[in-house]
Structure 1
Amino acid sequence: MSEFRLDLERTARIGFGEAIYCAGKSVAQVTAILESDPARALLLTRLEPAKFEALPATVRVRLDWDPVSHTAWQGDPAPLPEAAGPRIAIVTAGTSDVPVAREATRTLRFSGHASTEIVDVGVAGLWRLLDRVAELRRYQVVIVVAGMDAALPSVIGGLVPGVVIAVPTSVGYGVAAGGRAGLDAILASCAPGITVVNIDNGYGAACAALRVLNALLLHNKEVPS
């Protein structure tokens, strides 16, 4: 009996497909999943370099693997809309947060959505953020990725009207390491209406953004212009 069952109807149910979480899976298990239907487009997350290199060459050649985010996809991602520009910005407090942010970027791209990355605008140099506020206010969704005390989501939450999705990261010294300090700080934020996902969960933040955009699309279809 197979050790896995792909959720082939997820896109029809909720608007985006299943991702293959590779951490904890053996090379043999990842290989079996990918070889079960080589023509099927699949998103893979947490595919570490050693595990990627251990996959059979015939499997690796089919994958678009990103060494920063440790994500990969088999097959072609969904096409981007022809006219509309990115509706999602992905903001990081520091460059150390980029791997988590890139996981969100790649997840969105696989699902047919472009995004704009704005890197290294943390509160330690607040002028860097203030230079981009007018730009950030144009996006429907802003994903904010921050470690340490994760103050950046609260600041952005008080400056922009769009949906703010916060991702605490495990970046930091001492009590900040592991990300719990950042998670607690965001949950206790005085900026109302911030959505929070789990520590280092760029994939989850992207899925939350997809739900927002899908809801907007459904609303636009149902309401006559």
Structure 2
Amino acid sequence: MDHAKPLPSYLIQRYHGWKATAYADNKAWYRRLAESGQHPRAMVISCCDSRVHVTSIFGADEGEFFIHRNIANLVPPYTPDGKNHGTSAAVEYAVTALKVAHIVVLGHSNCGGVRGCHDMCAGHAPELLESSSFVGRWMDILRPGYERVKHIDEPLRPRALEKEAVVVSLENLMTFPFVRTAVEDDRLTLHGLWTDVGEGGLEQYDPVKSTFSQV
């Protein structure tokens, strides 16, 4: 492999700063985590977007969350077809091996992936319809959500679709047999959240009312 390069100097400086401060002050805790393994109480499925910082939002420490990030915080439906399914594998590991008590799906404002799905489904992004588009084929997961919001006026539709991304993922989680069994046995609870990056707001999904409300 000839293309890997050394880290940029600013990242190396930040690492040494962390090692000398946060790590040095909590060395026993880090060693305990290394020796005893991870025992997170919750899995968080969030977007790859760099503006969404899950541990900061909830003030979480190392070892507290099992975090999986992908484009638009989507969970595909249960399809054991032998293909590569990073998200499905992460869900399986969290539920069957780590036995987390909660799975949180966290959507966010101004999501580029969701916007891409919106434009693709509306016919404005033909490049995403190409079979070679990884993003387009991934965003196909959200097409059922687009069908539910396409009647909404365009200025408001993308934000509605961001929240549908959370709902679609919750629905798809329940298609996994081991998730459904754990939920029905009261060993696992599912939660849907949406955060406004600019305002710092957090909304949670109410399945009874089929709406999001401020936390």
Asked if TM exceeds 0.5, the reply is no
For the pair shown, the structure with the greater C-alpha radius of gyration is: 2
Normalised to the residue count of structure 2, the TM-score between the two structures is: 0.37
Normalised to the residue count of structure 1, the TM-score between the two structures is: 0.35
RCO greater where, 1 or 2, for CA within 8 Å and sep 6 or more?
Answer: 2
